[in-house]
Amino acid sequence: MAKNIVRVYYDEAYPPLPTKATRYWRKNLLWQSFRFVLLNLKIMRIIVGGHS
């Protein structure tokens, strides 16, 4: 007869929780706007470079 083995999840199995600073920067619309523009410029550079 087989026994049921209970396996426990360790703390390493869970993702880390964001810090207060991380949550602040994720909610900051000015920072998000800046990152959005920067990302779009990088994408445009790749597209324009491929069409030359």
Domain ranges of the chain: 19-50
Q: What are the pLDDT digits (tens) for 1-52?
A: 567 776 777 777 788 899 999 999 999 999 999 999 999 999 999 999 887 6
Amino acid 45: pLDDT: 93
Half-sphere exposure of 42 (CA within 13 A, CB side): 6
DSSP code per residue over 1-52 = -PPPPP-PPPGGGSPPPPPHHHHHHHH-HHHHHHHHHHHHHHHHHHHHHHT-
pLDDT at 2: 61
Q: How far is CA 27 from the centre of its chain?
A: 13
Angle value at C-alpha 25, between 36 and 22, nearest 5 degrees: 125
pLDDT score for 24 = 97
Q: Which pLDDT does position 15 carry in this prediction?
A: 84
Q: Which pLDDT does position 26 carry in this prediction?
A: 94
